Structure 1
Amino acid sequence: MRFSLPIAIYFDLENIDKNFNLSKLMESVVLEANSDGNRDENAISPLIAIKLACGETNSIAKFRSQLTDMNFEIREVPHVVQKKNRSDLVLSLEAFESLYQKQPNIDLYVFITSDTDFTIIMDKLRKYGKNVWLVTRNEDTEKPVFTSCSDKIFAIENYFEENSQKDNKALLDLVSGNGFKKNESQKIADVLESFDKDVWVLSSGFGTKLHSIAKDFSYKGKKINSQGKLFELLKEHKYIETKKTANQDYFKVIK
Protein backbone atom coordinates (compact mmCIF):
# COMPACT_ATOMS: atom_id res chain seq x y z
CA MET A 1 0.00 0.00 0.00
CA ARG A 2 1.18 3.52 -0.82
CA PHE A 3 0.56 6.45 1.50
CA SER A 4 0.37 10.00 0.21
CA LEU A 5 2.52 12.59 2.01
CA PRO A 6 1.25 16.12 1.26
CA ILE A 7 4.05 18.70 1.39
CA ALA A 8 3.98 22.51 1.54
CA ILE A 9 6.99 24.58 0.46
CA TYR A 10 7.23 28.24 1.48
CA PHE A 11 10.03 30.23 -0.15
CA ASP A 12 11.15 33.56 1.34
CA LEU A 13 12.92 35.18 -1.62
CA GLU A 14 14.83 37.74 0.43
CA ASN A 15 18.60 37.33 0.77
CA ILE A 16 18.77 34.13 -1.29
CA ASP A 17 21.65 33.85 -3.77
CA LYS A 18 20.53 33.88 -7.41
CA ASN A 19 22.57 30.69 -8.02
CA PHE A 20 20.14 28.69 -5.88
CA ASN A 21 18.82 25.70 -7.84
CA LEU A 22 15.21 25.31 -6.73
CA SER A 23 14.58 22.21 -8.83
CA LYS A 24 17.48 20.39 -7.19
CA LEU A 25 16.22 21.27 -3.73
CA MET A 26 12.70 20.04 -4.51
CA GLU A 27 14.14 16.80 -5.82
CA SER A 28 16.05 16.33 -2.55
CA VAL A 29 12.91 17.01 -0.53
CA VAL A 30 10.99 14.33 -2.43
CA LEU A 31 13.82 11.80 -2.09
CA GLU A 32 14.26 12.51 1.61
CA ALA A 33 10.51 12.31 2.22
CA ASN A 34 10.55 8.88 0.58
CA SER A 35 13.23 7.61 2.96
CA ASP A 36 10.84 6.58 5.73
CA GLY A 37 9.05 4.24 3.37
CA ASN A 38 11.97 2.35 1.88
CA ARG A 39 12.41 -0.20 4.68
CA ASP A 40 8.96 -1.76 4.53
CA GLU A 41 6.11 -2.40 2.15
CA ASN A 42 4.24 0.77 3.11
CA ALA A 43 5.78 3.05 0.50
CA ILE A 44 5.35 6.79 0.83
CA SER A 45 4.30 8.89 -2.14
CA PRO A 46 5.33 12.53 -1.58
CA LEU A 47 3.00 15.12 -3.07
CA ILE A 48 4.03 18.78 -3.13
CA ALA A 49 0.58 20.28 -2.70
CA ILE A 50 1.44 23.90 -1.84
CA LYS A 51 4.23 25.97 -3.44
CA LEU A 52 4.31 29.63 -2.47
CA ALA A 53 7.09 32.20 -2.89
CA CYS A 54 7.07 35.76 -1.49
CA GLY A 55 9.37 38.73 -2.00
CA GLU A 56 9.75 42.20 -3.42
CA THR A 57 10.08 42.93 -7.14
CA ASN A 58 13.86 42.51 -7.51
CA SER A 59 13.92 39.27 -5.52
CA ILE A 60 11.12 37.82 -7.61
CA ALA A 61 12.95 38.76 -10.82
CA LYS A 62 15.99 36.66 -9.81
CA PHE A 63 13.90 33.51 -9.53
CA ARG A 64 10.90 34.13 -11.77
CA SER A 65 11.95 31.60 -14.41
CA GLN A 66 12.60 28.84 -11.87
CA LEU A 67 9.42 29.60 -9.94
CA THR A 68 7.35 29.53 -13.13
CA ASP A 69 8.89 26.24 -14.24
CA MET A 70 8.14 24.71 -10.82
CA ASN A 71 4.55 26.07 -10.83
CA PHE A 72 5.01 28.18 -7.70
CA GLU A 73 2.45 30.78 -6.74
CA ILE A 74 4.36 34.09 -6.67
CA ARG A 75 3.24 36.85 -4.34
CA GLU A 76 4.82 40.29 -4.37
CA VAL A 77 5.36 41.88 -0.95
CA PRO A 78 6.84 45.41 -1.20
CA HIS A 79 9.30 46.79 1.33
CA VAL A 80 7.57 48.73 4.10
CA VAL A 81 10.55 49.98 6.14
CA GLN A 82 13.99 50.36 4.53
CA LYS A 83 14.85 46.81 3.37
CA LYS A 84 12.26 45.04 5.52
CA ASN A 85 9.16 43.54 3.93
CA ARG A 86 6.39 41.32 5.24
CA SER A 87 7.24 38.05 3.50
CA ASP A 88 7.70 36.34 6.86
CA LEU A 89 4.25 37.45 8.01
CA VAL A 90 2.52 36.49 4.76
CA LEU A 91 4.13 33.04 4.54
CA SER A 92 3.61 32.33 8.24
CA LEU A 93 -0.09 33.20 8.01
CA GLU A 94 -0.47 31.06 4.88
CA ALA A 95 1.14 28.11 6.66
CA PHE A 96 -1.06 28.52 9.72
CA GLU A 97 -4.16 28.87 7.55
CA SER A 98 -3.33 25.57 5.84
CA LEU A 99 -3.06 23.97 9.29
CA TYR A 100 -6.54 25.23 10.15
CA GLN A 101 -8.25 24.47 6.84
CA LYS A 102 -6.69 21.02 6.27
CA GLN A 103 -7.45 21.25 2.56
CA PRO A 104 -5.15 19.55 1.86
CA ASN A 105 -4.03 18.19 5.22
CA ILE A 106 -0.30 18.95 5.04
CA ASP A 107 2.08 16.53 6.79
CA LEU A 108 5.39 18.21 5.98
CA TYR A 109 6.19 21.93 5.90
CA VAL A 110 9.41 23.12 4.22
CA PHE A 111 10.63 26.69 4.73
CA ILE A 112 13.37 28.21 2.55
CA THR A 113 14.64 31.20 4.50
CA SER A 114 17.40 32.69 6.65
CA ASP A 115 14.94 34.78 8.69
CA THR A 116 14.59 33.78 12.36
CA ASP A 117 11.08 35.27 12.40
CA PHE A 118 9.87 32.02 10.83
CA THR A 119 10.80 30.05 13.95
CA ILE A 120 7.53 31.14 15.57
CA ILE A 121 5.31 29.42 12.99
CA MET A 122 7.74 26.50 12.68
CA ASP A 123 7.53 25.84 16.42
CA LYS A 124 3.74 26.15 16.34
CA LEU A 125 3.41 23.65 13.47
CA ARG A 126 5.49 21.10 15.35
CA LYS A 127 3.28 21.62 18.41
CA TYR A 128 0.39 20.33 16.30
CA GLY A 129 2.32 17.25 15.19
CA LYS A 130 3.59 18.43 11.82
CA ASN A 131 7.05 17.75 10.42
CA VAL A 132 9.02 20.92 9.71
CA TRP A 133 12.11 21.13 7.52
CA LEU A 134 14.28 24.18 7.01
CA VAL A 135 16.53 25.21 4.13
CA THR A 136 18.90 27.94 5.28
CA ARG A 137 22.48 29.20 5.07
CA ASN A 138 25.19 26.77 6.08
CA GLU A 139 26.39 29.16 8.79
CA ASP A 140 22.95 29.02 10.41
CA THR A 141 22.29 25.27 10.33
CA GLU A 142 23.61 24.69 13.85
CA LYS A 143 21.97 27.69 15.50
CA PRO A 144 19.75 26.60 18.43
CA VAL A 145 17.03 29.01 17.32
CA PHE A 146 16.64 26.88 14.17
CA THR A 147 17.54 23.40 15.44
CA SER A 148 15.00 23.68 18.25
CA CYS A 149 12.07 24.02 15.84
CA SER A 150 13.14 21.92 12.83
CA ASP A 151 13.07 18.18 12.20
CA LYS A 152 15.63 18.44 9.38
CA ILE A 153 17.86 21.27 8.18
CA PHE A 154 19.41 21.55 4.72
CA ALA A 155 22.28 23.90 3.83
CA ILE A 156 21.14 26.06 0.93
CA GLU A 157 24.70 26.27 -0.45
CA ASN A 158 24.45 22.59 -1.40
CA TYR A 159 21.89 23.63 -4.01
CA PHE A 160 23.83 26.39 -5.71
CA GLU A 161 24.49 25.77 -9.40
CA GLU A 162 28.22 25.30 -8.90
CA ASN A 163 27.65 22.71 -6.16
CA SER A 164 24.66 20.84 -7.55
CA GLN A 165 26.87 18.42 -9.48
CA LYS A 166 28.27 16.20 -6.77
CA ASP A 167 31.59 14.43 -6.97
CA ASN A 168 30.15 11.36 -8.72
CA LYS A 169 31.77 11.50 -12.14
CA ALA A 170 32.84 7.84 -12.04
CA LEU A 171 29.29 6.69 -11.30
CA LEU A 172 27.82 8.97 -13.97
CA ASP A 173 30.32 7.71 -16.54
CA LEU A 174 29.52 4.10 -15.62
CA VAL A 175 25.77 4.51 -15.96
CA SER A 176 25.80 6.71 -19.07
CA GLY A 177 28.30 4.35 -20.67
CA ASN A 178 25.68 1.62 -20.46
CA GLY A 179 23.01 3.34 -22.52
CA PHE A 180 21.42 5.87 -20.18
CA LYS A 181 21.03 9.51 -21.13
CA LYS A 182 22.89 12.15 -19.13
CA ASN A 183 19.81 13.30 -17.23
CA GLU A 184 18.78 9.68 -16.53
CA SER A 185 22.27 8.90 -15.22
CA GLN A 186 22.11 11.94 -12.93
CA LYS A 187 18.74 10.85 -11.54
CA ILE A 188 20.06 7.35 -10.86
CA ALA A 189 23.10 8.81 -9.10
CA ASP A 190 20.91 11.19 -7.06
CA VAL A 191 18.68 8.35 -5.92
CA LEU A 192 21.61 6.13 -5.00
CA GLU A 193 23.18 8.93 -2.96
CA SER A 194 19.91 9.56 -1.12
CA PHE A 195 20.22 6.23 0.72
CA ASP A 196 22.24 5.96 3.92
CA LYS A 197 25.39 3.91 3.46
CA ASP A 198 25.60 0.41 4.97
CA VAL A 199 21.86 0.22 5.71
CA TRP A 200 19.86 -2.60 4.15
CA VAL A 201 16.66 -1.42 2.43
CA LEU A 202 14.08 -3.03 0.18
CA SER A 203 15.19 -3.00 -3.44
CA SER A 204 11.76 -1.74 -4.43
CA GLY A 205 12.57 1.48 -2.56
CA PHE A 206 15.08 2.38 -5.28
CA GLY A 207 12.44 2.21 -8.00
CA THR A 208 9.96 4.13 -5.87
CA LYS A 209 12.41 6.97 -5.36
CA LEU A 210 13.55 7.00 -8.98
CA HIS A 211 10.03 7.32 -10.33
CA SER A 212 9.17 9.99 -7.77
CA ILE A 213 11.71 12.35 -9.40
CA ALA A 214 11.65 10.94 -12.97
CA LYS A 215 8.08 9.88 -13.63
CA ASP A 216 8.71 9.01 -17.29
CA PHE A 217 11.85 6.94 -16.60
CA SER A 218 11.93 3.57 -18.36
CA TYR A 219 14.43 0.75 -18.88
CA LYS A 220 12.70 -0.22 -22.12
CA GLY A 221 15.01 -0.43 -25.13
CA LYS A 222 18.18 0.00 -23.09
CA LYS A 223 21.19 -2.27 -22.74
CA ILE A 224 20.42 -2.37 -19.02
CA ASN A 225 16.73 -3.16 -19.41
CA SER A 226 15.69 -3.77 -15.79
CA GLN A 227 16.44 -2.64 -12.27
CA GLY A 228 17.87 -6.09 -11.59
CA LYS A 229 20.48 -5.65 -14.32
CA LEU A 230 21.26 -2.13 -13.10
CA PHE A 231 21.87 -3.54 -9.62
CA GLU A 232 24.14 -6.22 -11.10
CA LEU A 233 26.19 -3.46 -12.74
CA LEU A 234 26.36 -1.40 -9.55
CA LYS A 235 27.24 -4.49 -7.52
CA GLU A 236 30.00 -5.46 -9.96
CA HIS A 237 31.57 -2.03 -9.52
CA LYS A 238 31.12 -2.16 -5.74
CA TYR A 239 28.58 0.61 -5.35
CA ILE A 240 26.06 -1.68 -3.66
CA GLU A 241 25.60 -5.11 -2.10
CA THR A 242 22.44 -7.19 -2.45
CA LYS A 243 20.74 -10.02 -0.57
CA LYS A 244 17.45 -11.92 -0.46
CA THR A 245 15.69 -12.55 2.86
CA ALA A 246 12.28 -14.19 3.26
CA ASN A 247 11.59 -13.78 -0.46
CA GLN A 248 12.35 -10.06 -0.28
CA ASP A 249 15.18 -8.40 -2.20
CA TYR A 250 17.39 -5.95 -0.32
CA PHE A 251 20.37 -3.76 -1.15
CA LYS A 252 22.69 -1.38 0.65
CA VAL A 253 24.95 1.37 -0.64
CA ILE A 254 28.60 0.76 0.19
CA LYS A 255 30.40 3.37 -1.94
Structure 2
Amino acid sequence: MEMLGLVPKFGLGTFRLKDQVVTDSVRMALELGYRAIDTAQGYGNEAEIGKVLGESGLSRDALFITTKIMPANYGRDRLVPSLRESVQKLGLDAVDLTLIHWPAPKGEVKPQEYLTALAEARDLGLTKQIGVSNFTIQGLKQAREILGDVPIVTNQVEIHPYLQNRALVDFAKKEGLHLTSYMTLAVGKVMNDEVMQDIARQHQATPAQVALAWALAQGHSVIPSSTRRENLESNLKALDLKLSEEDMVRIATLDRDERIANPPQLAPDWD
Protein backbone atom coordinates (compact mmCIF):
# COMPACT_ATOMS: atom_id res chain seq x y z
CA MET A 1 0.00 0.00 0.00
CA GLU A 2 1.84 3.07 -1.25
CA MET A 3 1.62 5.95 1.19
CA LEU A 4 1.77 9.71 0.74
CA GLY A 5 3.26 10.77 4.03
CA LEU A 6 1.01 9.01 6.54
CA VAL A 7 -1.98 8.44 4.24
CA PRO A 8 -2.29 5.90 1.40
CA LYS A 9 -2.22 7.41 -2.10
CA PHE A 10 -5.27 5.50 -3.29
CA GLY A 11 -8.39 4.29 -1.51
CA LEU A 12 -12.05 3.45 -1.94
CA GLY A 13 -14.66 6.07 -1.10
CA THR A 14 -18.02 4.84 0.19
CA PHE A 15 -20.14 8.01 0.26
CA ARG A 16 -23.76 7.27 -0.76
CA LEU A 17 -23.12 3.50 -0.78
CA LYS A 18 -25.37 1.55 1.59
CA ASP A 19 -26.53 -1.97 2.45
CA GLN A 20 -25.74 -4.61 -0.20
CA VAL A 21 -24.31 -1.98 -2.55
CA VAL A 22 -21.52 -1.00 -0.12
CA THR A 23 -20.95 -4.65 0.81
CA ASP A 24 -20.40 -5.61 -2.84
CA SER A 25 -18.28 -2.54 -3.62
CA VAL A 26 -15.90 -3.04 -0.68
CA ARG A 27 -15.62 -6.78 -1.29
CA MET A 28 -14.76 -6.27 -4.98
CA ALA A 29 -12.30 -3.50 -4.14
CA LEU A 30 -10.45 -5.68 -1.63
CA GLU A 31 -10.31 -8.52 -4.17
CA LEU A 32 -8.78 -6.11 -6.71
CA GLY A 33 -6.09 -4.93 -4.31
CA TYR A 34 -7.56 -1.85 -2.62
CA ARG A 35 -6.41 -1.66 0.99
CA ALA A 36 -7.59 1.80 2.08
CA ILE A 37 -11.32 2.26 2.76
CA ASP A 38 -12.90 5.64 3.55
CA THR A 39 -16.19 5.81 5.44
CA ALA A 40 -17.97 8.13 7.88
CA GLN A 41 -20.49 7.95 10.67
CA GLY A 42 -22.87 9.94 8.49
CA TYR A 43 -22.70 7.43 5.64
CA GLY A 44 -24.56 4.81 7.67
CA ASN A 45 -22.44 1.96 6.33
CA GLU A 46 -19.73 1.27 8.94
CA ALA A 47 -21.29 -2.02 10.11
CA GLU A 48 -21.55 -3.38 6.55
CA ILE A 49 -17.95 -2.44 5.84
CA GLY A 50 -16.86 -4.06 9.11
CA LYS A 51 -18.54 -7.31 8.12
CA VAL A 52 -16.71 -7.38 4.76
CA LEU A 53 -13.38 -6.56 6.44
CA GLY A 54 -13.93 -9.40 8.90
CA GLU A 55 -14.74 -11.86 6.12
CA SER A 56 -11.86 -10.73 3.88
CA GLY A 57 -9.17 -12.76 5.62
CA LEU A 58 -6.81 -9.78 5.27
CA SER A 59 -4.53 -8.97 8.19
CA ARG A 60 -5.28 -5.80 10.10
CA ASP A 61 -1.85 -4.41 9.23
CA ALA A 62 -2.66 -4.62 5.52
CA LEU A 63 -5.64 -2.28 5.84
CA PHE A 64 -6.04 1.48 6.29
CA ILE A 65 -9.49 2.46 7.53
CA THR A 66 -10.68 6.06 7.78
CA THR A 67 -13.90 7.26 9.36
CA LYS A 68 -15.29 10.72 10.11
CA ILE A 69 -17.12 12.12 13.11
CA MET A 70 -20.52 13.53 12.20
CA PRO A 71 -21.49 16.96 13.53
CA ALA A 72 -24.13 15.58 15.93
CA ASN A 73 -21.27 13.88 17.81
CA TYR A 74 -18.91 16.86 18.13
CA GLY A 75 -19.70 17.58 21.80
CA ARG A 76 -17.05 16.57 24.33
CA ASP A 77 -19.41 14.04 25.91
CA ARG A 78 -20.30 12.45 22.55
CA LEU A 79 -17.21 12.35 20.35
CA VAL A 80 -15.21 9.61 22.09
CA PRO A 81 -18.23 7.31 22.73
CA SER A 82 -19.37 7.76 19.11
CA LEU A 83 -15.92 6.82 17.79
CA ARG A 84 -15.84 3.81 20.11
CA GLU A 85 -19.12 2.75 18.52
CA SER A 86 -17.73 3.29 14.99
CA VAL A 87 -14.68 1.18 15.81
CA GLN A 88 -16.94 -1.61 17.09
CA LYS A 89 -19.15 -1.45 13.98
CA LEU A 90 -16.05 -1.73 11.82
CA GLY A 91 -14.94 -4.77 13.82
CA LEU A 92 -11.60 -3.17 14.72
CA ASP A 93 -9.62 -2.31 17.83
CA ALA A 94 -8.88 1.11 16.34
CA VAL A 95 -9.24 2.95 13.04
CA ASP A 96 -6.16 4.27 11.25
CA LEU A 97 -7.49 7.78 10.75
CA THR A 98 -10.42 9.79 12.11
CA LEU A 99 -11.50 13.09 10.60
CA ILE A 100 -13.80 15.89 11.72
CA HIS A 101 -16.27 15.70 8.82
CA TRP A 102 -17.18 19.40 8.56
CA PRO A 103 -16.20 22.51 10.50
CA ALA A 104 -18.67 22.94 13.38
CA PRO A 105 -22.13 23.64 11.99
CA LYS A 106 -23.04 27.26 12.74
CA GLY A 107 -20.50 27.33 15.54
CA GLU A 108 -22.71 25.25 17.85
CA VAL A 109 -19.65 23.38 19.11
CA LYS A 110 -16.39 25.28 19.22
CA PRO A 111 -13.32 23.86 17.42
CA GLN A 112 -11.48 23.88 20.76
CA GLU A 113 -14.02 21.37 22.10
CA TYR A 114 -14.23 18.90 19.21
CA LEU A 115 -10.56 18.99 18.22
CA THR A 116 -9.44 18.47 21.81
CA ALA A 117 -11.90 15.55 22.09
CA LEU A 118 -10.52 14.10 18.83
CA ALA A 119 -6.97 14.32 20.18
CA GLU A 120 -8.20 12.59 23.33
CA ALA A 121 -9.64 9.76 21.19
CA ARG A 122 -6.16 9.36 19.69
CA ASP A 123 -4.57 9.27 23.14
CA LEU A 124 -7.08 6.56 24.15
CA GLY A 125 -5.99 4.44 21.17
CA LEU A 126 -9.31 4.54 19.31
CA THR A 127 -7.62 6.08 16.27
CA LYS A 128 -3.98 6.01 15.24
CA GLN A 129 -4.08 9.40 13.51
CA ILE A 130 -6.42 12.37 13.24
CA GLY A 131 -7.30 14.91 10.58
CA VAL A 132 -10.05 17.13 9.24
CA SER A 133 -12.32 17.40 6.22
CA ASN A 134 -13.77 20.43 4.40
CA PHE A 135 -11.59 22.84 6.39
CA THR A 136 -10.66 26.23 4.95
CA ILE A 137 -7.25 27.89 5.31
CA GLN A 138 -8.47 29.82 8.35
CA GLY A 139 -9.93 26.65 9.85
CA LEU A 140 -6.65 24.80 9.35
CA LYS A 141 -4.65 27.58 11.00
CA GLN A 142 -7.00 27.53 13.98
CA ALA A 143 -6.95 23.73 14.20
CA ARG A 144 -3.15 23.64 14.24
CA GLU A 145 -3.05 26.22 17.01
CA ILE A 146 -5.50 24.17 19.09
CA LEU A 147 -3.80 20.83 18.48
CA GLY A 148 -0.24 22.01 18.97
CA ASP A 149 2.11 19.04 18.56
CA VAL A 150 -0.65 16.63 17.52
CA PRO A 151 -0.37 16.42 13.71
CA ILE A 152 -3.27 16.87 11.29
CA VAL A 153 -2.34 14.15 8.80
CA THR A 154 -4.75 15.25 6.07
CA ASN A 155 -7.51 17.67 5.13
CA GLN A 156 -10.02 15.83 2.92
CA VAL A 157 -11.57 18.30 0.49
CA GLU A 158 -13.36 18.52 -2.84
CA ILE A 159 -10.79 18.81 -5.61
CA HIS A 160 -11.44 18.04 -9.27
CA PRO A 161 -10.64 19.66 -12.63
CA TYR A 162 -13.57 22.10 -12.26
CA LEU A 163 -12.77 23.02 -8.63
CA GLN A 164 -9.01 23.10 -8.29
CA ASN A 165 -9.08 24.83 -4.90
CA ARG A 166 -5.81 26.62 -5.64
CA ALA A 167 -5.61 28.93 -2.62
CA LEU A 168 -6.04 25.97 -0.26
CA VAL A 169 -3.67 23.76 -2.29
CA ASP A 170 -0.98 26.47 -2.26
CA PHE A 171 -1.39 27.00 1.48
CA ALA A 172 -1.23 23.27 2.19
CA LYS A 173 1.90 22.87 0.07
CA LYS A 174 3.61 25.76 1.82
CA GLU A 175 2.68 24.42 5.25
CA GLY A 176 3.47 20.77 4.49
CA LEU A 177 -0.17 19.75 5.01
CA HIS A 178 -1.39 16.74 3.06
CA LEU A 179 -4.68 16.89 1.14
CA THR A 180 -7.02 14.08 0.17
CA SER A 181 -9.13 14.82 -2.89
CA TYR A 182 -12.73 13.68 -2.88
CA MET A 183 -15.16 13.85 -5.83
CA THR A 184 -12.05 13.82 -8.05
CA LEU A 185 -14.21 12.71 -11.00
CA ALA A 186 -16.71 15.55 -10.39
CA VAL A 187 -19.50 12.96 -10.06
CA GLY A 188 -18.73 11.65 -13.53
CA LYS A 189 -18.57 15.02 -15.35
CA VAL A 190 -14.94 14.44 -16.37
CA MET A 191 -16.09 11.50 -18.50
CA ASN A 192 -17.86 13.80 -20.97
CA ASP A 193 -15.26 16.56 -21.04
CA GLU A 194 -13.59 17.04 -24.43
CA VAL A 195 -10.22 18.05 -22.97
CA MET A 196 -10.19 15.10 -20.59
CA GLN A 197 -11.26 12.76 -23.39
CA ASP A 198 -8.51 14.07 -25.67
CA ILE A 199 -5.79 13.64 -23.03
CA ALA A 200 -7.16 10.17 -22.27
CA ARG A 201 -6.96 9.18 -25.94
CA GLN A 202 -3.31 10.23 -26.13
CA HIS A 203 -2.48 7.98 -23.17
CA GLN A 204 -4.82 5.12 -24.15
CA ALA A 205 -6.53 5.79 -20.84
CA THR A 206 -9.97 6.85 -19.59
CA PRO A 207 -10.95 10.39 -18.54
CA ALA A 208 -11.45 9.02 -15.00
CA GLN A 209 -7.87 7.73 -14.95
CA VAL A 210 -6.66 11.12 -16.21
CA ALA A 211 -8.52 13.00 -13.45
CA LEU A 212 -7.16 10.69 -10.77
CA ALA A 213 -3.61 10.85 -12.18
CA TRP A 214 -3.89 14.65 -12.24
CA ALA A 215 -4.75 14.75 -8.53
CA LEU A 216 -2.04 12.21 -7.67
CA ALA A 217 0.54 14.25 -9.63
CA GLN A 218 -0.12 17.14 -7.27
CA GLY A 219 0.64 14.95 -4.27
CA HIS A 220 -2.96 14.44 -3.17
CA SER A 221 -4.47 11.13 -2.12
CA VAL A 222 -7.63 10.04 -3.95
CA ILE A 223 -10.65 7.98 -2.82
CA PRO A 224 -12.87 7.36 -5.87
CA SER A 225 -15.92 5.18 -5.41
CA SER A 226 -17.63 2.81 -7.79
CA THR A 227 -20.14 -0.01 -7.63
CA ARG A 228 -18.84 -1.73 -10.77
CA ARG A 229 -15.86 -4.08 -10.76
CA GLU A 230 -14.56 -2.89 -14.14
CA ASN A 231 -14.52 0.74 -12.95
CA LEU A 232 -12.88 -0.15 -9.65
CA GLU A 233 -10.18 -2.01 -11.58
CA SER A 234 -9.81 0.71 -14.21
CA ASN A 235 -9.48 3.48 -11.60
CA LEU A 236 -6.50 1.72 -10.00
CA LYS A 237 -4.57 2.05 -13.27
CA ALA A 238 -4.35 5.80 -12.64
CA LEU A 239 -1.46 4.97 -10.30
CA ASP A 240 0.66 4.07 -13.35
CA LEU A 241 -0.46 6.97 -15.57
CA LYS A 242 2.08 9.77 -15.92
CA LEU A 243 0.69 12.98 -17.35
CA SER A 244 2.90 15.43 -19.24
CA GLU A 245 3.42 19.06 -18.24
CA GLU A 246 1.26 20.02 -21.21
CA ASP A 247 -1.54 17.73 -19.97
CA MET A 248 -1.41 19.38 -16.55
CA VAL A 249 -1.54 22.87 -18.12
CA ARG A 250 -4.57 21.90 -20.22
CA ILE A 251 -6.40 20.53 -17.17
CA ALA A 252 -5.55 23.71 -15.24
CA THR A 253 -7.64 25.68 -17.76
CA LEU A 254 -10.78 23.70 -16.79
CA ASP A 255 -11.01 25.29 -13.33
CA ARG A 256 -14.32 27.15 -12.96
CA ASP A 257 -14.85 27.12 -9.20
CA GLU A 258 -17.69 24.60 -9.56
CA ARG A 259 -18.37 23.25 -6.10
CA ILE A 260 -20.54 20.12 -5.84
CA ALA A 261 -20.50 19.36 -2.10
CA ASN A 262 -21.88 22.51 -0.52
CA PRO A 263 -24.58 21.68 2.07
CA PRO A 264 -25.98 25.00 3.31
CA GLN A 265 -26.27 23.82 6.92
CA LEU A 266 -22.64 22.66 7.09
CA ALA A 267 -20.50 24.50 4.52
CA PRO A 268 -18.00 27.07 5.79
CA ASP A 269 -17.14 30.32 4.01
CA TRP A 270 -14.97 28.70 1.36
CA ASP A 271 -11.60 30.11 0.30
Task: Bin the TM-score by the shorter chain.
Answer: 0.3 to 0.5
Greater per-residue helix proportion: 2
Greater per-residue strand proportion: 1
Compute the TM-score of the two structures, normalised by the length of structure 1: 0.37
Compute the TM-score of the two structures, normalised by the length of structure 2: 0.35
